[in-house]
Homo-oligomer: A and B are copies of this chain.
Amino acid sequence: MEITRRELLKTSAAIAAVGAMSRVARAADDPLPSWNEGISKKAILDFVHVTTARSSPNFVLPEDRIATFDQDGTTWVEQPLYSQLIFSASRVATLAPQHPEWSTNPFLKGLLIGDVEAMAKATIQDLETIGDATEISMPVSEFQSLVQKWMATAKHPRFDRPYPQMVYRPMLEVMGYLRDNGYRTYIVTGGGQEFVRVYSQQVYGVPTDQVIGSALETQYEYDKDGKPFLVRTKTLLLNNNNAGKAKDINLFLGKRPHAAFGNSTGDQQMLEYTQGVGGASLEMLVLHDDAQREYAYGPAQGLPDTHVGKFTQALYDEAKAKGWTVISMKSDWKQIFAWDK
């Protein structure tokens, strides 16, 4: 049952192909060309300057240059539903013929007829059902292979583009700019670690060992030739949301980041923890206030409420009180997607 590395590399090329438009060029005189001039862009440029200039009192040693990025809603689109959940929905459709009992579950039935409205109203219980039904009890490599095939072909329901093209060009520019200045860029996602690792290199230029996410326990087994492989189990080992993000950053890295980017209440503690690093730090939150080019949701600042990626007024107030920067998609971003000219 185990999928070989060679097989995984084949579909990985397909992801790189659909994601090619997301790669961004940055001019030497402006490392952030998709950003309008303003407070947000200045905050990034100033942070890099004060932490990397040798003469700066806030100089940060190269080994301590760590920047963490939430994924869903921060580096790519999370509406109408998290990509991983849409992947699971596609798995439900594939597996449905073997599970006649699913046709009596209203939520799974909604998924099967591609009802995005029904999908957006999913409860936690629904999400657990779908997760249990589609993502567990298989070798890690088999799960990776399913994700790869999906990522190379599935398209976003509104924008009709493959998911690797749903990344925000301004955030790719920030990641590249930080890396050019000696920062290591980590994805720290509430989503599944094994899911994101499948495409993190192709989509973000982030290697698998710089992806921290929610994770299931695995089990160590042997195939018929006595070769060991790991199988996903049903037990959640890491819930990488809220305080889990701070705890898992400590678990994986043993040090605090100097920069953190998020967009929802699930990122609050990661930003607080980052600010406690001592010395200069940068904390940024993406506010989705652009219904025309992307989506508009909060409920902070009177934006519509949402089940996916909630940005509360309390988080907005904390950001203002602590000197974090709130990025307005509408006014800070000249361009959102690489293909969106």
A residues apposed to B, CB below 8 Å: 4-6, 63, 140, 193-194, 197, 207-209, 211, 215, 217-218, 220, 227-230, 237-238, 243, 246-247, 250-255, 269, 272-273, 276-278
- Chain B residue contacts of A276, Cβ below 8 A: 227-229
Contact of A230 among B193, B208, B250 (CB under 8 A): B250
Contacts A230-B247, A252-B252 given; indicate if A278 touches B4 (C-beta within 8 A). yes
Is B220 a contact partner of A243 (Cβ separation < 8 A)? yes
- CB pairs A–B below 8 angstroms (16 shown): A140-B250, A209-B254, A215-B251, A218-B247, A218-B251, A220-B246, A220-B247, A220-B273, A228-B246, A228-B273, A228-B276, A229-B276, A230-B246, A230-B250, A238-B251, A252-B252
**Oligomeric state, in number of copies?**
2
Q: Is the CB of B63 within 8 A of A207?
A: yes
A273 to B229, CA, bound (A): 7
- Nearest B residue to A211 via CB reads B254
In the docked arrangement, what's the CA distance between A269 and B228, Å? 8
| Extra pairs beyond A197-B254, A208-B254, A230-B246 (16, CB < 8 Å) | A5-B277, A5-B278, A63-B207, A140-B250, A208-B253, A209-B252, A209-B253, A218-B247, A220-B243, A220-B246, A220-B273, A227-B272, A228-B246, A228-B272, A229-B276, A230-B250
- Known contacts A228-B273, A230-B246, A247-B230; is-contact A255 B6 (Cβ 8 Å): no
